[in-house]
Amino acid sequence: MHQDTIVAVATPEGEGGLAVVRLSGPEAFALAGQVFEGEGFGSEIDSHRAVYGILFSLTDSKEKNYAIDQVLALPLRGPRSYTGEDTVEFFCHGGRMAARRAVAACRKAGARPAGPGEFTRRAFLNGKISLDQAEAVADLIHAESEAAARGAVRQLLGGLDRQLAEIETPLLDLLARIEGSLEFVDEEEVAVAPAEIATTIREAGGKVAELLAMAPAGRLLREGIHVVLAGPPNVGKSSLFNALLEEDRAIVDGEAGTTRDVVSARVTREGTVFVFHDTAGLRHDPGRVEKMGIDRTWKKVGEADIVLLLREPGGSSEDHLAACEAPVIRVRTKADRNKIVKSLKDKELSVSSTTGAGLPDLWSALDLAVRGFRLQEAVSLGVVLNERHQHKLETCREDLHLLAHQLENENPGDEVTGTMLSAILSRLGEVSGRVFTEQLLESVFQRFCVGK
């Protein structure tokens, strides 16, 4: 239980209809009573019942001074509050000054400023949410697409927790049986057979692998789908880039090599964020400056989720991206200038950036490629893994594989097996926050804003 009471503005600063100031901690009601006057807001405060009144500034002697604003005060008794502790939320008029003065008054009454994410951190420490649910709060705040927001909400509602429980529960039962057998070493019948242990371990490893298969979807929901336009100079990459964005962002000119650096822009389409990257043309024997741009093109291709490989009709069909790991969509450009006869075997899309012909087909091809990333599955399950989750789960998968191999080939014994299984469960617990350190919490909550 925290001994201090914290305060912060819980809404973005700026002009608006309302601003919310949150006061949370053991002295929340007492400190609120020093700065607020409203009928029914006294020693016997009704929880979850808003009270209209006046918010005051305080003198140095902590006496009410001048009125700051007409506000609604909402008292929330713990544990039925966001943080799990006594909380008062003041709903002020929007703008900078009213909320700032409200915070200043609460600080003068005895509250201290909240740090980044400290309200959510207290919610975690008070058992209101798990650590992965706390991270989902940050994901929801930063979501740029409908899909990302839906995935964050599903994880906030316990989607990942349920998946982790399906892995942990059989392992916890197995550990209890192994530890029980160690208490009765003279009674052979209570021992757990190595083959049975190995089977349970293998099943858990398979479920961890299934979760890890969702990791790319989590990144794409957060960052967007990175689509790189690549091809020889003057093939129409910048024109197609502008057409996809429906605005002129990249310079278009008939002179080859106009694009020397990567130009990027985001487009949200049907709930999914695409990040398009226009790049320097790929060709042999470029000049020194152009070569720097081409090097950046290859780097961006290596980071791409999808590559659009462009060429003109009659142009070279050389595949510059034979070793590219990302899905490659081949696009024949300048369809308005050339008569194109397509065969059933033709795997290229024909597009005109000038007339817009073929753009719907290109968007359909992009949407089809995105389906392979399993975004909707991740959203429906509420499994939006981040790098921390992925690292812990990869370590667990390796340890589970190692333990199963030892059980099947060496039989390390119940004591060693129990020790290794306990370590695996601890790592799994770090994903949900069942096991945590202060360093871990600092790394998680530093990406939160003050007031959340």
Mean pLDDT to the nearest integer, 391-397: 95
Residue 189 has pLDDT above 70, yes or no: no
pLDDT at 186 over 50: yes
How does residue 319 score in pLDDT terms, banded at 50, 70 and 90? low
Arithmetic mean of pLDDT over the chain: 87
pLDDT band with cut points at 50, 70 and 90 for residue 346: low
Average pLDDT of the segment spanning 208-233 = 93
pLDDT at 283 exceeding the cut of 80: no
pLDDT of residue 450: 87
Nearest in space to 376 (alpha carbons), one of 148, 86, 84: 148
Which of the four pLDDT bands, split at 50, 70 and 90, describes residue 353?
Answer: confident
| Better-scored residue on pLDDT, 98 or 297 | 98
pLDDT in the model for residue 411: 80
Long-range contact pairs involving 301-304 (C-beta distance under 8 Å, separation at least 24): 301/228, 301/230, 301/326, 303/226, 303/228, 304/226, 304/227, 304/228, 304/277
- Nearest residue to 364 via CA among 270, 278, 273: 270
pLDDT surpassing 90 at residue 249: no
State which of 33-42, 273-282, 421-430 shows the largest mean pLDDT: 421-430
pLDDT digits (tens, 9 = 90+) for 103-132: 999 999 999 999 999 999 999 999 999 999
Distance CA(232)–CA(2), nearest Å, equals: 62
Preceding peptide of 232 cis, ω within 30°:
no
Percentage of the chain with pLDDT > 70?
Answer: 88
Span of 135-139, 193-197, 207-211, 310-314 with lowest mean pLDDT: 310-314
Compare 97 and 182 and report the one with higher pLDDT. 97
pLDDT number for residue 260 = 52
60/88: higher pLDDT:
88
Q: What's the pLDDT score for residue 106? A: 95
Check pLDDT > 60 for residue 318. no
CA 78 to centroid of chain Cα atoms: 29
Share of the chain above pLDDT 90, in %: 58
Q: Quick one: 103 exposed, middle or buried, by C-beta within 10 A (0-12, 13-18, 19+)?
A: buried
Give the span between the Cα atoms of 327 and 325, in whole angstroms: 7
- DSSP H stretches of helix in 36-158: 96-109, 118-125, 131-142, 146-156
Mean pLDDT of 350-363: 90
The whole-number pLDDT of residue 323 equals 62
pLDDT at 286 over 70: no
Hunting for tokens 């190692």 — which residue is that? 402
Segment 344-356 shows an average pLDDT of: 77
> How would you class 446 by CB atoms within 10 Å of its CB: exposed for 0-12, middle for 13-18, buried for 19 or more?
exposed
